[in-house]
Chains A and B, each alone.
Chain A
Amino acid sequence: MQEPVKPELCGTMATERPSRLRVFSLNCWGIRLLSQHCAQRYEMIGELLDREQHDIALLQEVWSEKDFLFLKGKLSPSHPYSHYFKSGVIGSGLAVFSKHRIQDALLYQYSLNGYPYMLRHGDWFGGKAVGLVIVDVFGLKAHVYVTHLHAEYSRAQDEYLPHRIVQSWELLQFVRHTSCGADLVILGGDLNMHPEDLGNRLLRSHTGLRDCYTETDMFDGCDDGHTLIADNHFTKKQDLIPFEKGIRIDYILIKGSHRVSMKCESLSTTKGSVADKPFPYSDHEALTADLTLLRSEDSRNALPASERMEVVSEARAVVKEGLCLTEALRDKASRLMCAALLLLLLVFLPCLCHFSFTTTGFLGAVCTGALLSGALLYLLFTTHIKVLKETEDQMLLSSNELHTKLTGCRVSGSSSSDGSPELQPSGSFKREE
C-alpha cells in the first residue's frame, strides 16, 4: 500500500495561531440588456476583487458567460482558480473565484424554480442551483457552497413560497450530505429570505450553519445588516414595501468541524454607493466576512431536536399547501385540454356547425393551441407535484428521525441493539450532535 507524499501543513496551523480567511459574496445583477450599467459595474467589481484580495469570492447573477470570462481574465493573477456553474436555459449565474486551489466541483439544480409562463419573473429560465467547490485552504478541506434561491415578488401573497421552501430543503440536504468530510463549511449567496423566515430557520437548524452577521462582534455596514437597501441607486422603493429602509437577504454562513473551529471576526457590507464612482456595484450590497480558523474542535451545540421538529412541521405544512395548489392547477390544465378537445370535435362536425371556412380554421387553431398548452401545463404541474411529494416524504423521514432522537433521549441507560444514533453516534451525523 503506497503512502502519499503529502506537503507539510501550513506553519500557522501547526503552531496553533489562527489562520485568516476573507470571503466575499455579491449578487451582481448581471442581466445583460436589462440591468443598468452592466458592463461598467463588472469593471468595478473586477477592480474591487483585484484590490481587496479576498481568499474566496462568491458571485450570483453572473448570467452571461462573457461576463464571467471577463472577470476571470481580470482576476487571474490574484485568483487563479475559478468555477462557473452552468445549468438551466440562461445558466445558474453562480461563479466562484479563489486564491486557493479548487479540487472538485459539484452542482445540484433545484427541482422547483418558478413557472416557464411567468416570463416577467423569469426565474424558471435561470437554472437556480447550489454549487459546491472543494477548496484546499492551508491544507484543510473547505467545502464552499454558493447559491441563489427563487426571488420573492410579493411577501403578502407569495405564490413561490412552496418553491423556496423546497429549495431550502434541497439546499440543506445537499449541504448535510456532502459536508461530512469537510474541515470547514462556508455557504454564501442570495437566499431571498429574511433571517427569521421559515426557509432560513430550516436551513440553519438542520445544517448547524451559523450566520456571520449574528455571530460577529465587529460589523460595519448598513443598518441591521441590510443587503437590499432603499439608499441604493438601483433599488425600486416600492419593491421594499413594507420595509422602508431595507432587507437582509444575502448571507455568509459558516460551520467548523471537530478539526477546525471557525469564527467570524468581522463582517462588512457596502452601503449603497461607492466612493468616486457614479453608481454602486449592484442593486444588492456586497458582503465581506473576515474569518479565523483555529485547529481545535468546533463544539457549538446544534439546535435541540424538539425545535428542529417544529421547523420541519411548519415546512411540511407549506409544502402540503403547495401540493394542494399545484394539484388544483393541474386539474385546471386537464379541464382546459378536455374543453379544447371537445370544442375541436364540435367545430369539425359539419352537421353541428355551419361556420365559414375562415371561422372553422380560426376556431380549430385556437382549440389546437389550447390543447397543446393544456398538455404542456399538465406535464409541468405533474412534475412539480412529484417534487413536492418527494420533499414531503423526505421531511417526514427527518421528522421521524428527530422524534426517535427525542424519545430515545428520554429513555436513560437503555442500550438499543439496533444502534439508534443518539446512543451510538454514527459517522455521518457525528458532527451534528
Chain B
Amino acid sequence: MTTSAPIRLRVFSLNCWGIRYLSKNCRERFDLIGDLLNQEPLDIALLQEVWCEKDFLFLKKKLGGVYPFSHYFKSGFIGSGLAVFSRHRIRDAFLYRYSLNGYPYMAQHGDWFGGKAVGKVLLNIGGLNVHVFVTHLHAEYCREKDSYLPHRVVQAWELQQFIRHTSAGADVVILGGDLNMHPDDLGTRLLRNYTGLLDSFSEAAKFDGCEEGFTHISENPFTHTDGLVPFGGGVRIDYILFKGSGEVEVSCESLCTTKGPVPGQPFPYSDHEALTAEFLFTPTKKGNGCKEREYGCIPEKLPELVNTVNEARTEVKVGLHCSERMRHTAARTGVMGLVLLVLELAIAAVPLFALGAEQPFPKASFYLLGALCFAVLLSTLMLYIFYSMEVKALQGTEDQMRLALSSLQERIKEYPKVLSADHLQNSLDSKDSVHL
C-alpha cells in the first residue's frame, strides 16, 4: 500500500578527504561538514573518504539529533571510507568489496590499503522500498597513461552487476559517490546504460553550481590546479544517479554543488565539491512508471550497451595481458633468485671441503648476497600470489562480460525494431561479436 501523495527526498553526497595527518584542516572540515548537514534539510547524506572511524563517530554524535540512523562500511586495511547518515530508518545494509583496487607496492597512491567497495542500505520511505548505494572507485592519477584503468573498469562492472542484481525489488534506486570517472568515460557509460540509472546533472530541472557540474575545481584552494587545466579548470567525477520503477516515477527537481570556497568559512568542506539533489517520487498506477528502466537497459540503448561492454572487455583483456606478464616476470625473478642462492651455497660449500684452503672466505659478501637472494625470493613469491589473484579477478570479469554480451544479443532479438536499426547492423558485423 503506497501513499498516493508525492514524496520529496533530498540526497547529499561528498568526498570528505578525511585522510588524517595528510589532508589539510581535517578536523575543522569535519566540524564544518557536521554543521552543514545539521543546517540543511536533507534526508540522506552519502559520504566518502571518511577513513578514520573516530571522524565517523564524531559526525554520528553531532548529527544524532537530525539523522538518527547511520551506517559505516568497514573493509580493507584502512576502511572503505563510506558512511551513510539518514533521517529514515536503515533496515538493512550490505557491502560488496571490489575484487581489484590497485597494488600494495604503490604506497604513494595508497588505494590498495583502502578496501574500496559499494555499500548498500535499504530504507523504507513512505511505504516505498528505497535502495541507496554509496561508492568510491579507484583514483585516476594519470589520464594519458592510466595504469589503473582495468581496475576501474572491473570496479564499474562489479558496481553495475551489484546494483542490477540486488535492486530487483526496489521502488527507487539511488547511487551517490565518487566514481573518479568523467561522464563519458567507459565505466560511467557502462554503469548508466546497463543499470538504466539517470544522471541527476543531466536530468535536473534546476541546476545551481559549478559550471558544467564540475565537482573537482581549480578554484578550490585544496586542489592541484595543474591537473585540471586540460579540462577547462575542473572535472565532473562525483555523481548522484537515480531511477524509479514500474510503480514510482522519479524526477530530479534540482541539483546544486558547492563552488569551492564557502562564504564565511576559512576553507571549503573538502577538495571535492558537495552535491545536493532533490528528488520527487510520484507513485503511479501499476505499470505506468518506467518499468523498462527498472530492468536495466532500455531496448533502444541495447546496441550501444553491446558496444560499451565490448569496449570494456577489451580494456580488461589488456589489463589481463599486463598482469600475466608481470606474474611471469615475478616468477622468473624468483627462480633466478633461487638459482643464485643455490649457486652461492654451492660456492660456499667448496672451502668447507677443500683441503688446506688458505684463501680468506668473504663472509660479508656471502651473507649480503644470501640475504639479497632471500629477500628477492620472498618478495617475488608475494608478488606472484598477488598477480595470480589479479589475473583470476580479470579473467572472472571477462567471463561475466562474455556471458552478458550473449544475453544482450538474445534480448536484442526480442525487439525487431531495434534489430533492424542500421547502427545495430554495424555492431553485429564487427569482429568482436563473432567471438560470442
Which residues on A are within 8 Å of B, measured CB to CB? 1-2, 4-6, 83-89, 91, 101-109, 111, 125, 127, 132, 173-174, 177-178, 180-182, 357-358, 361-362, 365, 379, 382-383, 386-387, 389-390, 393-394, 397-398, 401, 404, 418-421, 424, 426-430
Contact: A426 with B399, CB < 8 Å? no
| Assembled-state Cα–Cα distance A100/B88 (Å) | 42
Task: Indicate if the CB atoms of B75 and A86 lie closer than 8 Å.
Answer: no
Task: Answer whether residue B322 sits at the interface, using C-beta atoms and an 8 A cutoff.
Answer: no
Closest approach, in angstroms, between the C-beta of A382 and any C-beta of chain B? 5
| Contact stretch, chosen from B27-35, B92-100, B235-243 | B92-100
Known: A85-B396, A427-B170, A430-B169. A397 touches B77 (CB 8 A): no
For A101, list chain B residues within 8 Å (CB).
410
Q: A358-B367, A379-B77 are in contact. Are A2 and B415 (CB under 8 A)?
A: yes
Cα of A175 to Cα of B326 in the assembled complex, Å: 36
B3 to chain A, nearest CB (A): 8
- Chain B: interface residue total (CB-CB under 8 A): 68
- Contact assessment for B124 and A105 in the assembled complex, using a CB-CB cutoff below 8 Å: no
Q: How far is the CA of A401 from the CA of B96 in the complex (A)?
A: 21
Whether the pair A106, B126 counts as a contact (CB closer than 8 A) is no
A398 to B120, CA, bound (A): 14
Q: In the bound complex, do residue B74 and residue A386 qualify as a contact, i.e. CB atoms below 8 Å apart?
A: yes
Are A106 and B99 in contact, with the CB atoms below 8 A? no
CA–CA, A429 to B122, complex, Å?
A: 11
* Cβ contacts A to B, 30 pairs, < 8 Å: A4-B411, A5-B414, A5-B415, A5-B416, A83-B399, A84-B399, A87-B99, A87-B392, A87-B393, A88-B389, A104-B400, A105-B403, A106-B165, A107-B400, A108-B96, A109-B99, A127-B392, A173-B94, A361-B367, A365-B371, A383-B75, A383-B76, A389-B74, A393-B93, A401-B92, A418-B88, A419-B125, A419-B126, A424-B127, A427-B171
Contact B94 A394 (CB under 8 A): yes
Question: With an 8 A cutoff between CB atoms, is B349 at the interface?
Answer: no
Q: When chains A and B are docked, how far (Å) is the Cα of A390 from the Cα of B91?
A: 15
In the bound complex, CA of A216 to CA of B161 (Å): 35
Contacts of A386 in B (CB 8 A): 74-77, 79, 115
CB <8 Å contact, A104 and B94: no
Structural contact, B76 and A177, CB atoms closer than 8 A: no
Q: How far is the CA of A91 from the CA of B392 in the complex (A)?
A: 7
Q: B122 to A428, Cβ gap below 8 A?
A: yes
Is B225 among interface residues, defined by CB-CB distance under 8 A?
A: no
Q: Does B364 contact A (CB under 8 A)?
A: yes
Q: How far is the CA of A127 from the CA of B99 in the complex (A)?
A: 11
Residues of chain B at the chain A interface (Cβ within 8 Å): 1-3, 71-77, 79, 88-97, 99, 115, 120, 122, 124-129, 131, 161-162, 165-166, 168-171, 292, 299-300, 363-364, 367-368, 371, 374, 385, 388-389, 392-393, 395-396, 399-400, 403-404, 407, 410-411, 414-418
A357 to B91, alpha carbons, bound, how many Å?
Answer: 64
A420: which B residues are within 8 A, CB to CB?
A: 124
In the assembled complex, the Cα of A401 lies from the Cα of B404 at a distance in Å of 35
Instruction: Find chain A residues with CB under 8 A from B169 CB.
Output: 180-181, 426-430
- Please give the distance in Å from A211's CB to the nearest CB on chain B: 24
- Bound together, the chains give a CA A357 to CA B371 distance in angstroms of 14
Q: Closest 3 CB pairs between A and B?
A: A428-B169, A181-B168, A419-B127
Question: A177 near B94 (CB under 8 angstroms)?
Answer: yes
Per the bound structure, the CA–CA distance linking A174 and B385 in Å amounts to 27
A132 to B162 CA separation, bound complex (whole angstroms): 12
Residues of chain A within 8 A of B126, CB atoms compared: 418-419
- In the bound complex, do residue B124 and residue A419 qualify as a contact, i.e. CB atoms below 8 Å apart? yes
Complex-state Cα separation, A390 to B53, whole angstroms:
12
Cβ-closest chain A residue relative to B124: A419
A426 is contacted by which of B76, B127, B368, B415 (Cβ under 8 Å)?
B127
Q: Which chain B residues lie closer than 8 Å to A109 at the CB level?
A: 97, 99
A421 nearest CB across to chain B (Å): 7
Are the C-beta atoms of A4 and B76 separated by less than 8 Å?
no
Q: A181-B168, A418-B88 are in contact. Are A86 and B129 (CB under 8 A)?
A: no
Enumerate chain B residues within 8 angstroms of A87, measured Cβ to Cβ: 99, 389, 392-393, 396
Q: Is the CB of A428 within 8 A of B75?
A: no
Give Cα distance in the complex from A51 to B88, angstroms. Answer: 55
Closest A residue to B385 using CB positions: A89
Whether A426 lies near B128 (C-beta < 8 A) is yes
B residues near A394, Cβ cutoff 8 Å: 92-95
Pick the contact of A132: B115, B165, B416 (CB < 8 A): B165
Q: Check if A390 sits within 8 Å of B75, measured CB to CB.
A: yes
> What is the CB-to-nearest-CB distance from B421 to chain A, in angstroms, rounded to a whole number?
11
In the bound complex, CA of A83 to CA of B168 (Å): 23
In the complex, chain A residues whose CB is within 8 Å of the CB of B170: 427-428
Residue of B nearest to A3 (CB): B415
Asked if A397 and B399 sit within 8 Å, CB to CB, the answer is no
Least CB distance from B106 to A in Å reads 15
Do A127 and B120 touch (CB < 8 A)?
no
Contact (Cβ within 8 A) B168 A106? no
The reply to whether A86 and B77 form a contact with Cβ atoms under 8 Å apart is: no
Whether the Cβ atoms of B89 and A418 lie closer than 8 Å is yes
Using CB atoms, name the residue of chain B closest to A7: B414
Q: Are A421 and B91 in contact (CB under 8 A)?
A: yes
Residues in A neighbouring B71, C-beta threshold 8 A? 393, 397
Q: Which residue of B lies closest to A383 (CB)?
A: B77
Question: How far is the CB of A240 from the nearest CB of chain B, in Å?
Answer: 32
| Residues A424 and B1 in contact, CB atoms below 8 Å apart | yes
Give A257 to B89 CA distance when docked, in angstroms. Answer: 27
Identity of the chain B residue whose Cβ is nearest the Cβ of A143 in the assembled complex: B165
Is B417 in contact with A2, judged by CB distance below 8 angstroms? yes
Closest CB-CB distance, B107 to chain A, in whole Å?
12
How distant is B98 from chain A, measured CB to nearest CB, in Å? 10
With contact pairs A87-B392, A88-B392, A383-B76 given, residues A421 and B124 touching in the complex (Cβ less than 8 Å): yes
Q: Is the CB of A398 within 8 A of B400?
A: no
How many Å lie between the Cα of A173 and that of B305 in the bound state?
Answer: 29
User: Is A387 in contact with B74, judged by CB distance below 8 angstroms?
Assistant: yes
Tell me, rounded to whole Å, the shortest Cβ–Cβ distance linking B360 to chain A: 13
Q: Are B414 and A426 in contact (CB under 8 A)?
A: no
Do the beta carbons of A180 and B77 come within 8 Å of each other?
no
Shortest CB-to-CB span from B344 to chain A, Å, is: 15
Complex interface: chain B residues within 8 A of A125 (CB)? 385
- Contact status A102-B403, CB under 8 Å: yes
Q: A127 touches which one: B75, B88, B389 (CB < 8 A)?
A: B389
The listed residue (A182, A361, A398, A419) touching B92 by CB distance below 8 A is: A398
